[in-house]
Amino acid sequence: MSEPTISRDPRHWMRPGTLQLAALPQLSLYIHLPWCLKKCPYCDFNSHEWSATAAPGEDMPEARYLDALRADLEASLPLVWGRPVHSVFIGGGTPSLFSPEAIDRLLADVRARLPLEADAEITLEANPGTFEKDRFRAFRQAGVTRLSIGVQSFDDAQLKALGRVHNGAQARAALEEAAQVFDTFNLDLMYALPGQTLAQCEADLRTALSFAPPHLSVYHLTLEPNTYFAKFPPRLPSDDEAYEMLDRITAITGESGLQRYEVSAYARPGHACRHNLNYWRFGDYLGIGAGAHGKLSFAHRIARPVRVREPRLYMERALAGDAVASMDEVPRAQLPFEFMLNALRLREGFALADFMASTGLPLSSIDTALREAEAKGLIERDARQVRPTERGFDFLSDLQSLFLPG
């Protein structure tokens, strides 16, 4: 039996094993649209400049890519048959490069093949550099319920340093339109930018808050391997300066009514990102599209499928029914760490019962690590719940590493 056949065959994944999952977790769908106008120097996502790979005058292959996504989804259905879908996230790349008509067709294809919950959250990532008047309204009419807008900064000099294709004025216009069209949206901001001062960071944050975003994601700029910034690193604020910025961000967002519910996320009541919460609660997600990753649970094992990464090869392989590059079983010993990588990002932490339900493991598998984390002041716990302390939030990587297999 070939590897692609094993990957698609639910009988292979349903065979007896050592894990005992009493019920399957919530299921989400992630759809990757890989193209962007320009590759940002800090970006390590599977994104590709269309102009850098296309022949002169060649249009982005919207229809062919949608055909590939549909074929990929159809080939994956036996692995998730009958499971309701809680949320859909269309990420990239820059998904807002796709036309509203393409997004409408994509969501119609999804609804025809998967049982979406009646109130399923459907998020589209958008870049202010692709914003046009009424474009967001057309995305809403196509079925998108939430935008995630990659502003990163309102400072034109910082945006240029980050390689963004938009300026501060375009960011403001996009946010004004989003606030008019969508009941909820997310504003993405970055801090500890090249040469950024505390005052500049605060100015960016106060500008962001002036749009009364229901949700704010604030990310520390890091130099990821295999990026332009990794090869040619800019001068960044020191760790102490970055911590000071984060303290100000948390204080000011709290004053504005946004609560920090996750390490990098702040929201008003009722506006937390349901799709991301499913990740952090170790839920399942089917990932389709070039390079998309997934997590799928079965009665006795958990699998991590990965799609072919290069967009043209992905389209070719998906249309032939073979888009999966690999689908590996998560080793039993690795599951506590994988769970904690997600759950400990949440302010609320996790219920001990949820750990057992979503990993199929007994509490004895994490008892030693929990004791050590508590002794170091990184968590607090009672008979039902485990929560990271303020210190645990500040030293999250140290806390998570306690759960690595010995």
Strand partners, 190: 219
d(CA 207, CA 294) in angstroms, rounded, equals: 36
**Tens of pLDDT along 77-92?**
999 999 999 999 999 9
Per the CB < 8 A criterion, the answer to whether 142 and 96 are in contact is no
| Dist CA 171 CA 386 (whole Å) | 39
Average pLDDT, the chain: 92
Is residue 32 helix, strand or coil? strand
* pLDDT confidence bin for 53, thresholds 50/70/90: low
Taking the CA atoms of the chain, what radius of gyration do you get in angstroms? 21
Give the other-Cβ count within 10 Å of 67's Cβ.
16
Residue 54 has pLDDT above 70, yes or no: no
Give the pLDDT band of residue 365 (cuts 50, 70, 90).
very high
Parallel/antiparallel/unpaired status of strands 184-191 and 146-152: parallel
Query: What is the rounded average pLDDT of the residues 346-358?
Result: 97
Q: Band the pLDDT of 364: cuts 50, 70, 90.
A: very high
Are 162 and 153 a contacting pair, CB within 8 Å? Answer: yes
Q: Is residue 202 predicted with pLDDT exceeding 60?
A: yes
Domains of the chain: 10-277 (3.20.20.70), 342-405 (1.10.10.10)
- Name the helix (H) or strand (E) containing 22: none
Is residue 102 over pLDDT 90? yes
For residue 325, give the nearest of 341, 311, 342, 305 by alpha carbon. 305
Q: Give me 361's structure tokens.
A: 């493991």
Q: Are strands 324-329 and 302-307 parallel, antiparallel or unpaired?
A: antiparallel
What percentage of the chain reaches a pLDDT higher than 70? Answer: 95
36 by DSSP, 3-state: which?
A: strand
Encode burial over 91-118: b for 16+ CB neighbours within 10 A, e otherwise: bbbbbbbbebebbbbbbebbeeebebee
| DSSP, res 15 | S
Determine the Cα–Cα distance for residues 12 and 14; give it in Å rounded to an integer. Answer: 6
Using pLDDT thresholds of 50, 70 and 90, give the confidence band for residue 8: confident
How many residues are present in the chain?
406
Compute the average pLDDT of residues 255-271. Answer: 95
Contact 87, 278 (CB under 8 A): yes
Would you call 226 exposed, middle or buried from its count of C-beta atoms within 10 A (0-12, 13-18, 19+)? exposed
Please answer whether residues 139 and 177 qualify as being in contact, where contact means their C-beta atoms are separated by less than 8 angstroms: no
Supply 232's token pair: 């040619």
